[in-house]
Structure 1
Amino acid sequence: MPSMKDRLGLKELSSTGYAKLLKALLAEFIGTMFLCFFGCASTISWGEGHGGSIVQIALAFGLAGAGVIQAIGHVSGGHINPAVTFAMMFTSNVTIVRGFFYVIVQCLGAIAGSGVLRALTPEDVGGKLGATLLETRLTAVQALGMEFLLGFILLLVVFGVCDEYRGLEKNAPIAIGFAILVGHLAAVPFTGSSMNPARSFGSAVYWLGPILGGIAAGLIYKHVFAMTAPSHGHKEETEYRPVRAEEKEVNMS
């Protein structure tokens, strides 16, 4: 277990660490911006017969997530989602300092993506630009449960493909993209399938659900499912980490 000092990560603010952190923050900002821009653009209704179908929305978010993670995963880990960042913090895979700034720039990136989409969309075009809304017949508890499960499956996939002893890291963007796609296919009629608190400001459902589900999945994977290092003689097994270094964790949306 890392010490509290290491978990806090103040060294990332030092003269030798801040350059890497700034680069990672820029990657998270740009990645979240494009995820929200392309994903939310797919929801716009251009008229009868030209609205965003569930399949179209799911494909847009899933493929955008996979593409962004492939592009910036080696720089920041490609979290582009506060639920991923919180799960990584709770399992000691990113420092608290890094996680704090990640969540801020992810939210700013989501705002920027929505702002650009609004600026490029004609005023008379229908739709809510991807805003997530609860189905009117759902209770708050039902909606929270749905978002919890969406966050859980997303982070279960993230930790599974980032387990260094499985050797699946190259497939991580595709697997995570499919997790996002499936979540949207299943849950758009329920809650709009947020899966990403940065995308959905406001309601506690969209923050607590994915974050709590993600943390639960991360803790379960780390302490129950994680692979261990191959034994060589009497050498002790290495403690599981889904990433080898601060810049190696890969995620989504």
Structure 2
Amino acid sequence: MCKEICTMAFLRAIVAEFLATMIFVFFGLSSALKWPSALPSIVQISLAFGLAIGTMVQMFGHVSGAHINPAVTIAFLVGNHISFLRSVFYVVAQLVGGITGAGILYLVTPINTRGNLAVNALNNNTSPGQALVVEIILTFQLAMCIFASTDKRRTDAIGSPALSIGLSVTLGHLIGIYFTGCSMNPARSFAPAVVMKRFSTAHWVFWFGPIIGAVLASLLYNYFLFPYSLNVSERVAIVKGTYEPEEEWEDSRGENHRL
């Protein structure tokens, strides 16, 4: 495990997750502020969140994978894509980054416009149970899109993963805002709640819904629809952070022979 985390690449990935989540939360929440001159529309907010995610994926995808979402990170852990320690560091970086982004927005926004800083809440008489199901569905489609659009095994023309993921987030917001303000991301919900000190009794929905939806998508995609041919020892090694793909081992062996 130490071999994985004691590297500059690992540090860069953690910093990338922090910065990506900070910028995403800042731009996303900014789009939902109630400016006296012009109230935001559902389409505007949806596009802002989608464009923010797409931009962050393009900027940081090659550094950390640009999860920008604790639910997505947990889904990648369940799907045997990252180690347990990496997932823990990622989630912490995302939560701290989100709080930082919301805090900066709070400081630069005029008092009469801050409102509740777009804290997620149940809308239109939506019950906690209904909200939970909605958040599960919204995040399920997002996670499925992420796994499908970033799968390196695909040989067909998949287009731009950043654009696909951004559109998936936009789609979720176009519907989810009416129910819950649309979370799909515990860091997005947690950050403004911390800054505003405003935790509702239904705040748990914005953790359990996205995490359950993302995990279900991970199980379906990675173990049924398009499973990876890994044995038990390889899967354990990935979780421990000690897995080295055979092609990488062959490359390193070749380099040793040349020395």
TM-score by length of 2: 0.80
Name stretches of at least 5 consecutive residues in structure 1 with no aligned partner.
1-8, 229-237, 247-253
State the partner residue of 2:110.
Answer: 122
Cα deviation 1:206-243 (Å, max 9, x = unaligned): 00100110010011011222177xxxxxxxxx559xxx
- Do structure 1's residue 178 and structure 2's residue 167 form an aligned pair? yes
Distance 1:104 1:126 in 2: 26
Q: 1:44 aligns with which of 33, 37, 55?
A: 33
Name stretches of at least 5 consecutive residues in structure 2 with no aligned partner.
191-198, 232-243, 246-259
Seen in structure 2, the aligned counterparts of structure 1 residues 148 and 80 have a Cα distance that, compared at 3 Å, is: same
Distance 1:182 1:170 in 2: 18
- Do structure 1's residue 70 and structure 2's residue 62 form an aligned pair? no
SS in structure 2 at match of 1:79:
coil
State the partner residue of 1:225.
Answer: 225
1:18 Cα shift?
A: 3.0
State the partner residue of 2:4.
Answer: 12
Cα deviation 1:75-119 (Å, max 9, x = unaligned): 000000001100000111010000001000100111011111111
1:131 Cα shift?
A: 1.1
Pairs within 5 Å for 1:149-160:
149-160=137-148
Distance 1:38 1:69 in 2: 14
1:126 Cα shift?
A: 5.2
Q: Counterpart amino acid of 2:126?
A: L
Q: Decide whether the 8 Å contact of 1:163 with 1:226 is kept in 2.
A: no
Deviant stretches of 4+, over 2 Å: 167-170
Q: Decide whether the 8 Å contact of 2:138 with 2:172 is kept in 1.
A: yes
More helix by share: 2
State the partner residue of 1:81.
Answer: 69
Seen in structure 2, the aligned counterparts of structure 1 residues 188 and 121 have a Cα distance that, compared at 3 Å, is: same
TM-score by length of 1: 0.82
Pairs within 5 Å for 1:86-165:
86-125=74-113, 127-135=115-123, 137-165=125-153
Cα deviation 1:154-189 (Å, max 9, x = unaligned): 001011112222245761111000000000001101
Q: Decide whether the 8 Å contact of 1:43 with 1:127 is kept in 2.
A: no
Distance 1:220 1:147 in 2: 17
C-alpha RMSD of matched pairs (Å): 2.1
1:10 Cα shift?
A: 4.1
In our comparison, the structure showing a higher alpha carbon Rg is: 2
